[in-house]
Structure 1
Amino acid sequence: MSDQAILRITREIRQIQQGTDLSLGVAYHESDIRSVKALIVGPPDTPYEFGFFEFSIKFPRDYPASPPNVNALTTNAGRCRFNPNIYAGGKVCLSILGTWRGERGEEWSSAQGLESILISIQSLMSSNPYENEPGYEDAKGPEDLKAMGQYVAKIQHETLRIAVIRPLEDALGIQKDGTVIPQGKSLNASDDEEDTFAYDDARWFFKPFEDLRKRRFLWYYESYMQAIEAASQKVKKNEKFETMTFEHPGNSMDGTFNYPNLKSRLEFIKETLTNETERWGVHGLESKKNESSIANNIQRQHDQIKEELNSRKSFSVDISLADGNPFVWTITYFGRPMTHLDGGVFKIKMYLSTSFPEEQPRVFVETPIFHQRVSKDGVLCYFPSRSEELKYHIDAIVQALEEESPPFDPRTTVNLEASKLFWGTPDERKRYNRALRRSVEKSAE
């Protein structure tokens, strides 16, 4: 591969990694930049909502003259077809990839790149994926409409089961018998639940998105539970999935509905993540006792940030270490005058892993607050401009709390009730502001 091609691939990867699109993630194995893994977060208001769909991407040596080879990995080990154009075997049918016939002008060109490929794949994950099947334009009868609803229903179920639950159970070491092997791999799942991949190259065993999945799960937990509550009213437990006319043996989505099982598994993932977060503090104290380099580094960052806050005479933020543990920070935020948070006092905990920055902090607002960026469980949704330096995390935490007119992005929906009011009608926005002010007033009592 030419140096020019390598530079282009590097630039395209960096643009996505440094971009603001919360629905895309990319990573490559250090031994070969041509071998890329990508993650697409399912779009809101679709049956794929907040699912984590992983793809392997292999760039050819003559890139960008030829398109990359793309394969879907979130297929339940080749047993689940998630879309008319995303096959159980991993094939992704798109004209720009040369895997599907397209109209003139829809073929691959060197002007396209990695981001346009991922966006094209994401566009397949629509509210009515049935429309991706050729001949859909003629499907208007009652039976066709019924089939569309049935297809959406089973995709929603399998998104939760395969694209949310299974990867997290694997990452957390959750076994079928309810035991947990921390930082281990789920080894004894039954055949119909296993979601591992027989890669022919060791480079594909690296798992760059585990931390992203965990953090986003905490963001979207309420959305997952609400989706289960609504969907479980429409289907019966153990009701079989309907087979679509375009599905065939070996390339279909087969199974049964079992939302009670999915709900209990989501609850256990949440409990296990909570326990893992608390263990970060325990491991942190051990790391401090051993005078590890990461413990010294985080302690130094804390001291520098505290000194900077004092020199700026900042009266809105105070930081300290919980029981002297550099991996558990206590942040006290004092609402600034002339803002919606004026007069409020909020206690915030920031938990750090000994694997920071590979594992990013988990931040919880302990003081109850009605805020569109804070979940009902206190999980804060925020975005540091530089994830490897903790001072940028502190700045981003304050900005997330104070920002009164953020750009609309449904992928930041962590509090369903607050978000609905915040982005609703002018009257609903007033109701949001009143509820926020009430929580601010209570915080100061």
Structure 2
Amino acid sequence: MHLKFDPAYPAEVAQADDDILLEQVQHASFAYFWHGAHPKSGLARDRSGRTADPANDLVAIGGSGFAFMAILVAVERDWISHRQARERVNIMLSALEHTQRYRGVFPHFINGNDGSTVPFSRLDDGSDLVETSFLIQGLVCVRQYFNSASAEDLAIRERINRIWRDVQWNSHVKPGRNVLYWHHSPKYRFARNVPIQGWNEALVTYVLAACSEEYGIQSDTYHDGFARNGVFLNGRDYYGVKLPLGADYGGPLFFAHYSFCGLDPRGLSDQYADYWEQNQNHSRINYLHSVHNPHDYKGYGANCWGLTSSHGPKGYLASSPASDFGVIAPTAALSSMPYTPRESMQALRHFLSLPKGKMTGRFGFVDAFSPATEWYARTYLAIDQGPIIAMIENHRSGLLWKLFMSAPEIKHALLKLGFQSPHMENPGNQITAEPLRQFI
């Protein structure tokens, strides 16, 4: 199957089949990671242009985790063959094996040519635990997908296990503080000083950190650190919808996407929340904010919504109902497809009706736009393109949720941290609280 992203005119869009449109949008976003990948490493460029590649070698580690997931979707959708997928995955793994790491933890950005660290900022010139966790999330899915007894698949699994096993998650615990820290610098150590706590995009970081026997964390680091023993609880109503966790109005929508490209929120719960309810309500609040439109922004409404981090007219920004700059990011509504399918499809159809030469390009929808000022980004971001593919696929088939949650280490970690999930209830695969050395 070879689909070309070619948005129809509004009258035709109104008659198009939902599944065809979803396929087109996924396929167009996949092209970012396939045709738009870094030419040597095969990893994901941090950003790219609507009509041309950037003149640099900047690769995003978290975005590359989403690239691995996108490749699996492409195989299942017959856009590429298993052989093509294996070839690209092996190129990407070779690049990762030669990437500069810090106690096994990857930096935020690397140079795609040689794997050297590209500092994110002056104090952030070393390891980034959250970006590393998004990478490992994708690698876990790849390992579970290539599960045959062939020598090729066995080699892929072994390479992934070595990369995963070498991550020293506990090296990001500052002495005397029972919480994971986002950044560590070989020169400035913890000077960046950002604890990974409160409700945000990093739940999967704690789950993966609990997997490792040698370099892992104990359950109290999750409860004391991330959950802060319940301090991240919310429980208030916004636009008539109760929000279990997090900041007022829920924060940017990527909180409901990044960790949940792999973690299946359906039936996932612990002592703090039901995570399906959390993400569904967060998405609905974000949608209702545009419907109510308290700032009276032109163009907002039931078919034009979605606030998250994205490019903006004056640079990168983090949008949410509590911090609304009038900039809509298509990834916000599209990646919420599992949570708000009707509202997300309304937005998709509306985005397709906007000016082709501005709203779309070689990789589908541009990163963001402002209805009020008629500004359109000329760029794409890996961390926005990736969740579009992954979350729409989880809505359509549950593919990535099934793969990630099938890993024995993930089930063990969730049990260790006090979670419940239907994926942990398979009688044929009982999980105990004992270390699973054989899997790692």
TM-score normalized with structure 2 length? 0.31
User: Whose radius of gyration is greater, 1 or 2?
Assistant: 1
Q: Which has the higher contact order (CA 8 A, sep 6+)?
A: 2
